[in-house]
A and B are shown apart, each in its own frame.
Chain A
Amino acid sequence: MAGVAQQSKSTITLKGSAEIVCDYLNFGINSILFQRGLYPPENFQTTENYGLTILMSTDNKIKEFLSTSLNQLKEWLIQRSVNKVALIITNVKSLEVMERWDFHIEYEGNPDQPGGQVSDKPLKVIKNEIRDVLKQIASSVAYLPLLDCLCSFDIQIYTKNGIELPAEWSEAQAAHVKNAQSVKMRSFSTNIHKMETVVTYKNED
């Protein structure tokens, strides 16, 4: 995997762990955009990672939005100031929140480790855990309702109070799904960051 900063062959640094989380989010969010049918399938191309074939958006604007959001998130992950990332899917016409994917973050280990926090969890194990979640996301189509309307997506990051608002960022309202039903997916952990994925969708009558 590109860019994982490691002190030695077997340890993962705080920065590396944050990158792993952001990589997962990048693949996971792209996978959701494809699986939920938000954009034409022609706008996606396949890439191989985690032993899976994942479809990633080729739209530059989408890529830019994701990379800006995730790069900022990486910083906040290192500072331990983010609790959750939410992917919101909204009906463009009615502005109704159709679906929300929550990526909860838990911090593990000792942040005050001398020399910086490290984890010696094998990267292969982490990748396998990530692969399992990504597959769960892909197969969630079996129970998620059809999004039969033009939808847009947004990324919201839930941070602690007192965080400096970066340039080009604004505060947002929490997005709630009416008649909500939630499904908790598998979680993965680098032993520095633990990520749990939950999807909340509208229960069809």
Chain B
Amino acid sequence: VTNMSSQEDESAGGGSEPAEPSSSPSTEIGTTSGDIITVTIGATVPTGFEHTAAEEIKEKIGVDARISKDRGRVFFPITTDKLFQVHLLRSVDNLFVVVEEYHHYQFKESKEETLMELQQLASTLPWTNALEVWKQNGTLKKKKGHRRGGNTAKSKPNCEGVGGSMASTEQQELPQENSAPEGWAGDTQAMETSTQDSDETGHGSKLIKFRVTCNRAGDKHSFSSNEAARDFGGAVQEFFQWKADMTKFDIEVLLNIHNEEVVIGIALTEESLHRRNISHFGPTTLRSTLCYGMLRLCKPQASDIILDPMCGTGAIPLEGAIEFNHSFYVAGDNNDMAVNRTVNNICHIQKRRADKGSMSGLPIDTVQWDLCSLPIRTSSVDIIITDMPFGKRMGSRKKNWDLYPSCLREMARVCRPGSGKAVLLTQDKKCFSKAISRMGGLWRKQHTVWVNVGGLHAGVYLLKRTGSRSCTQPCHAANPSVFFGLM
């Protein structure tokens, strides 16, 4: 029994010194910090780019990743001494450490029995290793001086984007068949916990706060994600004697149920990594993880000249300039706000690099131009990569009928015949395919990745520029009826 008067209270808000739970010894945190253990890490990635993520994991961590049947998720093993490497991954949105995985979980017939079983599960799960990893990850983040709060949409005052569209983009991690994930953090009258008498190390015992987030997908379940989160969460709270808190939590326990696949994990990322580069948002700013996926698709080579002719806030070329920095990027847009935001975003990153003592200059430039009449020499660009207007969030369907053929033709003109490539994201698949097929063989479809952007189903098209010569003068917007006949 600890002498209460000798306790130091190290809590000063913020820090996450784990409390030593009074009960079961298997839940002690921190006793195995000397050993290297192997755990399974789960990562959420933009749907459609699971293979890209697996490639990056193989490249940077050297292990084979397994792609889950639950789309947008990959799993891979890692040893705790290499944990820091997971934070170098550019294709993952969120990371968690797996506590337990069930591939063919047999749910009970009735809701009551199923929920009861989930409750019982809480005390039998192998929490130790996962909690150890969570703890080490917390230390890692502190060492890095991670500025996690700095780059999110919510905290930036000069973010002029449409709040609605950004919120929906945050939501779109989730399986489409389900409603939003249910978090649980117990009753508002949270139980008083008895951590004071459990202290063995003499350190201050800070109360651990947690929440449970449940994602459920499948049509054969007798329960809702809300109910699962509530009952499982209740059992977790009972077992660990942690305090439940929906917003200011230290530990986020994840309960992912996809048909018969059940995964329990502990989150390693506080907020999604997908907006890491952007501090100045626009209405349709693309996730950096999606930008990374698109860039990997076109395999930028040393000295490739890469153009984004509709760059918006510059998310794609900026991710390229950072991650594939042996190429050169020209970001362009016709809109004043867009080019200024792009420059702001670039300056922000350069300043961050300068603050860290590295050479700040990035291989990127910004130009204001009309993409249907690019002020660029014919056949001088190696890769064109862009997010084309969807018509639902920006522009309009009718405008796309006019826009797509003109810009595809102009992009073909500036792109090097034979070796050039384009990676184009669009939701207007019909208009796009038609425009390509009527272009006299300037582009050839090589591969398509189906993705989800802000709840909209879109395609990332990898195109090869054929050897055919195109006109050498900038092509001005042609009469759309020539391409599409009577509309």
A and B found bound together: no
